[in-house]
Structure 1
Amino acid sequence: MPTGVIVKKVSIDIVSDVVCPWCIVGYQHLQHAVAMLDDVEVSVNFHPFELNPSMPEEGQNLREHVMQKYGVTEAQSQQTREQLTDIGDAVGFKFDYFDEMKMVNTFNAHQALHLASLKGKKEALKLRLFAAFFSERKDVSDISVLIDEAVAVGLEKEDIQQALAQQTYADEVRMEEQLWMQRGIQSVPTFVIGNQGVAGAQPPETLAAFIQEAILQEANGN
């Protein structure tokens, strides 16, 4: 970077879940948005949201779950899978849907992410869990999977084992989930850029415009 260039720093909060396909699409769109901007440095702060907080431990077939929850047909579900696979290819993420794929409970995943945030590795673990669930056919509600993925991004095995066994961060995760819901977050992904909430996996151009607006607002003292 040339000497004398002033880098504009922007912090973006993303409320999301690791089993939400549009959440990883939205994140990838954000990376493309940042690449479109000159002299801008973006830091990402992920926050927890459970798509299915009452999902039982055994999970539910994903296709069955989607059909029941959103009232779509099997054909519509398949069409959405194909659409997401194509979108994933376009943004550099692999969606590998399969017939036995399950929707799972993500409360333990969010606890693992909370620990990762204390170690400065939350973004790395979040991306690892997205890939584990959507690309590698792994069950991200499985404690052994969460331990392996946490260790893969640099967490100590004993730390993650203890945190999950003792549910060390359960209260903190619940409190943060409730905080964002109280702020009006009802769907994910939601991006908080500057003083604006942006819902959905918006196109890179839209996210870039919000980032530029946030920079302008800060420069004007708003």
Structure 2
Amino acid sequence: MSSIKIDLVSDIACPWCAIGYARLQQALASLPDIHIELQWHAFELNPDKNAPKEPILPALSRKYGRSEEEMRQAQANMMQIAADLGLNFTRMQQRFTCNTFDAHRLVKWAEATEQKATAMKLALFDAYFGEAKDVSDAKVLADCAASAGLDSGEAQRILASDAYRDTVQQDIAKYQQAGISSVPAFIINNKYLISGAQEPAQLAAALKQIAAEQA
């Protein structure tokens, strides 16, 4: 069996990151002879912790220079893609912008304590896109930790401290310096970069080729 390491750079506030991970899972289902070691890495779409929280549609409209109706349609298209992948994006158009630094701290904690980074990440995606919850709020984050099978009380203690702040800051800086400017970004075996939420067949073909090269 071949083994491949994937460093997945993503943000909780990025819908294509949730879609990209779901497509990766579909790709891997077609590659039973390839073992994957996956590690999540932090990226911030909204790095200003003091920025006001805004309704997502006007915020995206201003960011991309398109009308709110165009953004609404683009979001609706993503909602359909997500539904086909079994993702809960039910309230993605009702969400607000928010900073995700503390959420990334909990992902690092989940990885370090119980190897549950993926479960934590998926709980955060579900809360933000499925329920339009504020994933910068400590109570929401603690509830996400509980949903991921982690101790919510310990999560609250982590959030009230400086734990994992340096880890997240170093993570973000490392991939910025490496030239990662958009997410999701899949870094394979510290050598290959796959940018964006590629279709499962494309991902599977790329991973199969990489596995063959190292065989």
Classify the TM-score, shorter chain.
Answer: over 0.9
Does 1:213 find its partner at 2:209? yes
Tell me the residue number matched to 2:126.
131
Residue of structure 2 equivalent to 1:4 = none
Q: Which amino acid aligns with 2:136?
A: S
- State the partner residue of 1:56: 50
Distance 1:167 1:173, change over 3 A: same
Q: Which consecutive unaligned segments of at least 5 residues does structure 1 have?
A: 1-6
Matched, 1:177 2:155: no
TM-score (norm. length: structure 1): 0.90
Between the aligned partners of 1:185 and 1:57, the Cα distance in structure 2 is 23
Alpha-carbon offset, residue 155 of structure 1: 2.4
One-letter amino acid matched to 1:35: A
Match of 1:112 in 2: 106
In structure 1, C-alpha distance between the alignment counterparts of 2:147 and 2:19, rounded to whole Å: 23
How is 1:1-222 mapped onto 2 (pairs within 5 angstroms)?
7-56=1-50, 58-97=52-91, 100-119=94-113, 120-194=115-189, 195-219=191-215
Q: Percent identity?
A: 37
Structure 1 residue identity aligned to 2:9: V
> Residues 110 and 73 (structure 1 numbering): CA distance in 2 closer, same or farther, change over 3 Å?
same
- 1:64 deviates by 1.4
How far 1:167 moved relative to its partner? 2.2
Do the aligned partners of 2:75 and 2:92 also contact (CA within 8 Å) in 1? Answer: no
Task: Name the Cα RMSD after superposition.
Answer: 1.6
The structural deviation recorded for 1:99 is: 5.6
Task: Please give the TM-score of this superposition, normalised by the length of structure 2.
Answer: 0.93
Against the structure 1 CA distance between its residues 100 and 124, is the aligned structure 2 distance closer, same or farther, given a 3 Å change threshold? closer
Query: 8 Å contact 1:151–1:157 — kept in the other structure?
Result: yes
